[in-house]
Amino acid sequence: MNSAPEEQSRILIIDDSATSIRLLSAILKDLGRIWFATSGEAGIALAREHRPHVILLDVEMPLMSGYEVCRVLKETSETRDASIIFITGQSGMESEIRALEAGAVDFITKPVNQPVAKARVCTQLNVQRQAEALVRLAKRDGLTGLFNRRYFNEMIELEFSRHQRQGHVLGLALIDIDHFKAFNDGYGHLEGDTCLSMVAQTIALATQRPSEIVARYGGEEFVAILPHTTLEEASKYGAWLCEKIYDLKIPHQFSSCASVVTISVGVAALVPSENSTIRQLINAADHALYRAKAAGRNRVIASDSG
Ligand SMILES: [Mg+2]
Q: What is the CATH number of the domain that holds 36?
A: 3.40.50.2300
CA of 110 to the centre of ligand 1 (A): 10
Assess whether 170 and 124 both reside in one domain.
no
CA of 114 to the centre of ligand 1 (A): 18
Angle, to 10 degrees, between the axis of helix 18-28 and the axis of helix 114-138? Answer: 60
- What pLDDT is attached to residue 6? 54
User: How many domains would you assign to the chain?
Assistant: 2
Assess whether 214 and 240 both reside in one domain.
yes
CA of 228 to the centre of ligand 1 (A): 50
Assess whether 102 and 211 both reside in one domain.
no
CA of 77 to the centre of ligand 1 (A): 26
Assess whether 119 and 156 both reside in one domain.
no
CA of 298 to the centre of ligand 1 (A): 68
Q: Tens digit of pLDDT for each residue in 31-60?
A: 999 999 999 999 999 999 999 999 999 999
**Domain boundary pick from 138, 164, 182:** 138
Domain membership of residue 60 (yes or no) is: yes
CA of 73 to the centre of ligand 1 (A): 18
Assess whether 124 and 223 both reside in one domain.
no
Amino acid 228 reads H
Q: Where are the alpha helices (DSSP H) in the chain?
A: 18-28, 40-50, 66-75, 93-101, 114-138, 149-166, 180-187, 189-205, 231-248, 278-294
Residues with CB under 5 A from ligand 1 (ion): 16, 58, 60-61
Helix (H) or strand (E) holding 302: strand 300-302
Confidence of residue 3 (pLDDT cuts 50, 70, 90): very low
CA of 62 to the centre of ligand 1 (A): 8
CA of 213 to the centre of ligand 1 (A): 46
Domain membership of residue 93 (yes or no) is: yes
Domain membership of residue 35 (yes or no) is: yes
- What pLDDT is attached to residue 2? 41
Domain membership of residue 196 (yes or no) is: yes
Query: How far apart are the C-alpha atoms of 246 and 251, rounded to whole Å?
Result: 10
Domain membership of residue 75 (yes or no) is: yes
Assess whether 186 and 66 both reside in one domain.
no
Confidence of residue 4 (pLDDT cuts 50, 70, 90): very low
Query: How far apart are the C-alpha atoms of 79 and 53, rounded to whole Å?
Result: 9
- Sequence-ordered list of residues with C-beta below 8 angstroms from that of 138, at least 6 positions apart, any chain: 150
**Domain boundary pick from 138, 168, 187:** 138
Assess whether 116 and 180 both reside in one domain.
no
CA of 67 to the centre of ligand 1 (A): 12
Domain membership of residue 1 (yes or no) is: no
Assess whether 102 and 209 both reside in one domain.
no
Assess whether 190 and 96 both reside in one domain.
no
Confidence of residue 62 (pLDDT cuts 50, 70, 90): very high
Assess whether 134 and 157 both reside in one domain.
no
CA of 31 to the centre of ligand 1 (A): 23
Q: Is the pTM of this model over 0.75?
A: no
Confidence of residue 136 (pLDDT cuts 50, 70, 90): confident
DSSP per-residue codes, 242-297 = HHHHHHH--B-TT-SS-SB--EEEEEEEE---SS--HHHHHHHHHHHHHHHHHTTS
CA of 109 to the centre of ligand 1 (A): 12
CA of 49 to the centre of ligand 1 (A): 23
Domain membership of residue 103 (yes or no) is: yes
Domain of 177, CATH number, reads 3.30.70.270
Assess whether 223 and 115 both reside in one domain.
no
- Sequence-ordered list of residues with C-beta below 8 angstroms from that of 238, at least 6 positions apart, any chain: 173, 175, 265, 266, 267, 300, 302
As a whole number, mean pLDDT of residues 217-230 equals 96
**Distance, first Cα to last Cα, the chain:** 26
Strands 83-88 and 300-302: unpaired
CA of 39 to the centre of ligand 1 (A): 9
- What pLDDT is attached to residue 5? 45
**Domain boundary pick from 138, 173, 206:** 138
Assess whether 161 and 197 both reside in one domain.
yes
CA of 113 to the centre of ligand 1 (A): 17
CA of 47 to the centre of ligand 1 (A): 18
Domain housing 248: 149-302
CA of 180 to the centre of ligand 1 (A): 66
Strand partners, 13: 36, 56
Domain membership of residue 37 (yes or no) is: yes
CA of 66 to the centre of ligand 1 (A): 9
